[in-house]
Amino acid sequence: MNPKSLVKEQSIEAIKAVFNIDMPAVEIQITKDEFEGDYTIVVYPLVKEVKQKPEDIATKLGEYLVKLNIFTEFTVVKGFLNLSLNSELLIQTIENNYSDKYFGFSKEKRSKIMVEYSSPNTNKPIHLGHIRNNLLGFSISNILKAAGNEVLMSQIINDRGIHICKSMIAWQKFGNKETPETKKTKGDHLVGKYYVLFDKEYQKEIAEMVTTGVDKEEAKKKAPIFVEAQNMLKKWEDGDKEVRELWQKMNSWVYSGFEQTYKNLGVHFDVVQYESNTYLLGKDIIEKGLKNGVLFQKEDGSVWADLSEEGLDQKLLLRSDGTSVYMTQDLGTAVERFTHYKLDQLIYTVGNEQDYHFQVLFLILKKLGYNWASQLYHLSYGMVDLPSGKMKSREGTVVDADDLIQEMINTATEISGELGKLDGYSEEEKKKINQQIGLGALKYYILKVDPKKRILFDPKESIDFNGNTGPFVQYTFARIQSILRKADTHTIEITSYTLNQTEKKLILLLSSFPEIIQKSANTLNPSLIANYVYDVVKIFNYFYQNYSILNVKYESEKQIRLALSQWTGNVIESSLNLLGIDSPERM
């Protein structure tokens, strides 16, 4: 049992003993630096039950608790009871946990959860917005696993439709049979280039038609290149051999490019689905909903869900010609996933511009009678902006993920060179560490912000070796490994020792790691882990700068401080790992 749990348990028993009240929800906090004590009990919630002044309640509880072996003294500040823990109990806490590489991770088996993230289109490369999506999805998957869940990381690739045909038509018209190999470029970049070329040609044709007197809206529908793309989509749906072969070839180029980006970003998937295999799912569900009266059909044959009673509007589910819309597919995919994978929960990592879509999706599934609809969750996140002029994008409008990753590594290389931090390392070692620093900076900067908030991402600021940044956290881990190497910590002998206040604060903060993991998992918020590890790093650095670890008078003091350093290193490494960030042993 960690100290906080013990304090909570003893507090509940004390309230029962002193006031004869069952109070299971007692609020316990780590005592603020300006006050004496280790843990604080918030007494105010008891005032209504006990009908006494908060100071009197706190005093009576304190007098009872200090008679126990685990507390040494107490102070009362208004409605707060501050308790000091017995040093022996805290030393026992170090001894129990310092060598556990998986400290904080739950061994209890909870739920089977699928987390969907990334889910790109195959007509353009992965961009800055996808980066936040991938980092959030991957990190929350790690955190849910650490909290004791079985997690499936999934994506559904949007590999069909008119937008895909646009790239295909443009490649046929302007590509001269070029390939990623002949152009020495990534496949997703090559296909993305033709999507842009299609739009340029399309806009040109619209403008030409307008000059001849055609209405602009009419021109958009009848521009020759657009009509060709529509015809190609029809051929694809009819299974035309040549169109399907071209589609498979160009998509394979894109998948190869995606795989490289995912590898560079350090994310992966357990389940990959393709819209070309799922777009027909959902039609049976719609038919069933029609039969039982949950859905209705209009005169033109289209099928709708009426959500007006829930404060929303009517939602189209099948067009009048019987073709499906995105919502149809999402209904079918959700049912298929729960049926096939026997899920307890499904989490969609998608930007906040899709909030309404998921609100409607979950509501329709609930109306259709699927009990698990209440276990669907939209992990909605804000957009990522860059300060203007900081980076150029390949297409001038969207920041390419590959460009940003390389920019981060280049910036890390430049800064570590200026600071001389990697002097004496081989070129191969420098390259690896700069990659870890650059990617760590990118990931930490994005994940330290609450997912719901919009981010202004500044690449230079994110690689600062001081402050709330990835490199600062990584550097502290490397510093601890250096200390442990010098001490040759094969065996640590922990004996009795009087802890100072900084050591106590560090122990209490490290002890709260299991609670932080569970809270982060419950709220699907990796920023709780990021900001927690920053607090750990700040206290450890204060400790390191003010107290010697290796050059001390007593061996017991050295051993305790080495154990505390090792525990801190393990928690930093685990925290960074949960965020998908590497922990270099040397920096």
Residue 324: predicted pLDDT: 81
CA distance 570 to 586: 15
The answer to whether residues 463 and 507 touch, using CB atoms and an 8 Å cutoff, is no
Token reading at 273 = 């689905």
pLDDT exceeds cutoff 80 at 398: no
According to DSSP, the residues that pair with 151 across neighbouring strands are 113
pLDDT-derived band at 325 (thresholds 50, 70, 90) equals: confident
Distance CA 467, CA 461 (A): 10
What is the rounded distance in angstroms from the CA atom of residue 319 to the CA atom of residue 307?
Answer: 18
Task: Decide if 341 contacts 114 (C-beta within 8 A).
Answer: yes
Phi first, then psi, for residue 267 (nearest 5°) are: -120, 160
Does the structure show a pLDDT above 70 at 144? yes
Q: pLDDT tens digits, residue range 187-196?
A: 999 999 999 9
Which residues, other chains included, contact 532 with Cβ-Cβ below 8 Å and sequence gap of 6+?
A: 512, 513, 516, 575
Query: For residue 345, how far is the Cα from the chain centroid?
Result: 17
The alpha helices in 177-223, defined as continuous H runs, are 180-183, 187-211, 216-222
Return the higher-pLDDT residue of 459 and 444: 444
Q: Is the pLDDT of residue 396 over 60?
A: no
Tell me, what amino acid is at 351? G
Predicted local confidence at residue 391, as pLDDT:
47
Look at residues 285, 277, 304 and name the one whose alpha carbon lies nearest to residue 365.
285
List, for residues 523-559, the tens digit of each pLDDT value.
999 999 999 999 999 999 999 999 999 999 888 999 9
User: What pLDDT, on the 0 to 100 scale, is given for residue 69?
Assistant: 86
The pLDDT of 461-474, averaged and rounded, is 90
Decide: residue 366, CB within 10 A, 0-12 exposed, 13-18 middle, 19+ buried. Answer: middle
User: Is 0.85 surpassed by the pTM of this model?
Assistant: yes
Chain position carrying tokens 């106590």: 504
The answer to whether residues 76 and 115 touch, using CB atoms and an 8 Å cutoff, is no
Q: Is the pLDDT of residue 263 over 70?
A: yes
pLDDT recorded at residue 255: 96
Cα separation, 398 vs 125, whole angstroms: 10
Which whole number is the average pLDDT over 323-331?
88
Question: Over the stretch 476-497, which tens digit does the pLDDT of each residue have?
Answer: 999 999 999 998 766 778 888 8
Cα–Cα distance for residue pair 477/451, rounded to 1 Å: 26
**Contact in structure between 42 and 29 (CB atoms under 8 Å):** yes
Structure tokens at 580: 């998908």
Angle at 137 between CA 131 and CA 140, to 5 degrees: 130
Q: Which amino acid is at 163?
A: H
* Mean pLDDT, range 2-27, rounded to an integer: 91
13-17: long-range contacts at Cβ-Cβ below 8 A with a sequence spacing of 24 or more? 14/61, 14/64, 14/65, 15/46, 15/61, 17/64
Residue 431: per-residue pLDDT: 93
- Which pLDDT value is given to residue 188? 95
pLDDT band for 388, please (50, 70, 90 cuts). Answer: low
The yes-or-no verdict on residue 321 having pLDDT over 70 is: yes
For residue 32, the 8-state DSSP code is P
pLDDT, average across residues 226-234? 94
For the beta carbon of residue 21, count every other beta carbon within 10 angstroms: 12
Q: Which of 341, 329, 338 is nearest to 372 (CA)?
A: 338
Q: pLDDT tens across 269-303, in order?
A: 999 999 888 888 888 899 999 999 999 999 999 99
Burial 234-253 (b: 16+ CB within 10 A, else e): ebbeeeeeebeebbeebbeb
Q: Are 509 and 542 in contact (CB under 8 A)?
A: no
User: What are the two backbone dihedrals, phi and then psi, of residue 264, each rounded to the nearest 5 degrees?
Assistant: -65, -35
* Rounded Cα distance, 97 and 574, in Å: 14
Compute CA distances 573 → 182, 208, 271, 370, whole Å.
Answer: 43, 60, 27, 41
Taking alpha carbons only, the member of 456, 429, 458 closest to residue 441 is: 458
Q: What is the pLDDT of residue 394?
A: 45
Average pLDDT over the chain reads 92
Report which of 518, 570, 574 is spatially closest to residue 144, judged by C-alpha positions: 518
Tell whether the model's pLDDT for residue 399 goes beyond 50: yes
Contact yes or no for 170/198 (Cβ under 8 A): yes
Q: Is 488 helix (H, G, I), strand (E, B) or coil?
A: coil
- Reference 335, options 281, 378, 275; nearest CA is 281
- Span of 319-333, 472-486, 516-530 with lowest mean pLDDT: 319-333
- Average pLDDT, stretch 358-386? 94
**Residue 54: CB atoms within 10 Å:** 19
Cα(287)–Cα(296) distance, integer angstroms = 10
Q: Give per-residue pLDDT as tens, 404-443.
A: 999 999 999 988 888 887 888 899 999 999 999 999 999 9
Do you know the residue count of the chain?
587
Residue pLDDT, tens place only, 53-86: 999 999 999 999 999 889 999 999 988 999 999 9
